Amino acid sequence: MSGFQAVEWTGEALRLLDQRRLPTEEVYRVYADPEAVARAIEQMVVRGAPAIGVTAAYGVALAARRRVGADEEFRSAMGAVLERFARTRPTAVNLFWALDRMRRVIEGTPDPVRAAEALEAEARAIEAEDLAACRAMGRFGAELLPDPATVLTHCNAGALATAGYGTALGVIRAAAEAGKRVQVLADETRPFLQGARLTAWELQKDGIPVTLITDSMAGYRMRLGGVDAVVVGADRITRIGDVANKIGTYALAVLAREHGVPLYVAAPLSTVDFELSSGDEIPIEERDPTEVTHCGGARVAPEGVGVWNPAFDVTPAHLVTAIVTERGVARPPYTESLEAFRR
């Protein structure tokens, strides 16, 4: 498999593959400072909802190693660390899910030395559970694909975006491993180009046939026929099955419905926000305008132009054919099927 690790705990520090430099350079950065880890999440050195959760968990573990002091002092310092990580990226609910797990460990372990050990163990568990969830999603999702299959995907929901193997790309990988002849159409995913830079790179490394298209080509490609499924990941799913994912997913979902193509969302249950009952309640991150005015560092729009740069959109549940989780494939009505999978 892949031959790279997006997020790796060395036992002393956190090693991240700098995804801003891909595909031209494979640069790993080592972090011992939790504030630098928080900035790495904000600046998209690491990205993808599950990988953000795993990274933040290790960031908290790093902070705990440094803050071994009196009990009260330790707790309030760790509270500030949790708040700092919660401010990094607002949409990916895996971040808040991971921080909640870390918070429970802090609350349940009064001794700071023992808490530091327990936090490291919890971060390792979050990472291991995510990898296992990706493999399970792969097995369930692969069964949904025909043989041969042409799958259209958006953004990067691969090993780069998780503890390994991937969610949407995990489904594709598992189908290929099961002997299905799968080829992928990868949307370039403007403005940050996760499809062109990351998905194309990741699939090429695995020897899975991939064809890159710009986002605006997806509709015509579906109209010509031969797209068997759209498979994407998610940043947050409400209890009724509304899905927040990379900007452009909603447009793909509308196109898929128009052309009779199933839309499958692959996501671990840590991506389901059971507190929310409507996609309208999901906070949508807006990012720096330069992501839109510039491409590969070069300006492509006039100075001073107004820019709107939402990083995610929301696809309503009625456009989602199925949600692939580590517990099985949820079908509408999602309020019931997702609830049944809840731990």
**Whether residue 235 lies in the annotated active site:** yes
Which of 235, 242, 273, 313 is catalytic? The answer is 235
Residue count, binding to ligand MRU (CB under 6 A): 17
What's the min distance (Å) between Cβ of 333 and ligand MRU?
23
Q: Is residue 49 a contact point for ligand MRU (CB under 6 A)? A: yes
Q: What letters, b where the CB count within 10 A reaches 16 and e where it falls short, cover 238-260? A: bbbbbbbbbbbbbbbbebbbebe
d(CA 37, CA 30) in angstroms, rounded, equals 9
- For residues 65 and 139, which CB has a smaller minimum distance to ligand MRU in the complex? 139
- For residues 31 and 74, which CB has a smaller minimum distance to ligand MRU in the complex? 31
Angle at 192 between CA 196 and CA 47, to 5 degrees: 95
263 has which bridge partners? 230
What's the min distance (Å) between Cβ of 92 and ligand MRU?
6
Contact 233, 198 (CB under 8 A): no
Q: Are strands 263-266 and 229-232 parallel, antiparallel or unpaired?
A: parallel
- For residues 50 and 90, which CB has a smaller minimum distance to ligand MRU in the complex? 50
Contact 15, 51 (CB under 8 A): no
Q: What letters, b where the CB count within 10 A reaches 16 and e where it falls short, cover 201-227? A: bbbeebebebeebebeebbebbeeeeb
What's the min distance (Å) between Cβ of 8 and ligand MRU?
17
Considering only the stretches 21-29, 65-73, 227-235, 329-337, report the one whose residues sit in contact with ligand MRU under the rule CB under 6 A.
227-235
What's the min distance (Å) between Cβ of 15 and ligand MRU?
19
What's the min distance (Å) between Cβ of 34 and ligand MRU?
20
Reported as type and span, the H/E element at residue 290 is helix 290-293
Considering only 7, 22, 41, 48, the residue that binds ligand MRU (CB under 6 A) is 48
Contact 264, 229 (CB under 8 A): yes
Rounded to the nearest angstrom, the gap between the alpha carbon of residue 277 and the centroid of all alpha carbons in its chain is 21
* 30 CB neighbour count, 10 Å cutoff: 12
Considering only 197, 236, 239, 246, the residue that binds ligand MRU (CB under 6 A) is 246
What's the min distance (Å) between Cβ of 79 and ligand MRU?
26
Considering only the stretches 44-52, 78-86, 140-148, 326-334, report the one whose residues sit in contact with ligand MRU under the rule CB under 6 A.
44-52
Q: Is residue 53 a contact point for ligand MRU (CB under 6 A)? A: no
Considering only 55, 162, 321, 325, the residue that binds ligand MRU (CB under 6 A) is 162
Nearest-CB residue for ligand MRU: 233
Considering only 233, 241, 248, 279, the residue that binds ligand MRU (CB under 6 A) is 233
Closest CA to 249 of 270, 268, 235: 235
**Within positions 255 to 314, which residues make up the interface with ligand MRU, using CB under 6 A?**
311
Closest CA to 222 of 272, 262, 192: 262
* Contact track, ligand MRU, 194-213, x by CB under 6 A: x-------------------
Considering only 17, 133, 136, 161, the residue that binds ligand MRU (CB under 6 A) is 161
Contact 161, 49 (CB under 8 A): yes
Closest CA to 199 of 235, 162, 227: 162
212 has which bridge partners? 186
**Within positions 63 to 82, which residues make up the interface with ligand MRU, using CB under 6 A?**
none
Q: Which residues bind ligand MRU (CB under 6 A)?
A: 47-50, 92, 155, 157, 161-162, 167, 194, 233-235, 245-246, 311
Which residues are designated catalytic?
235
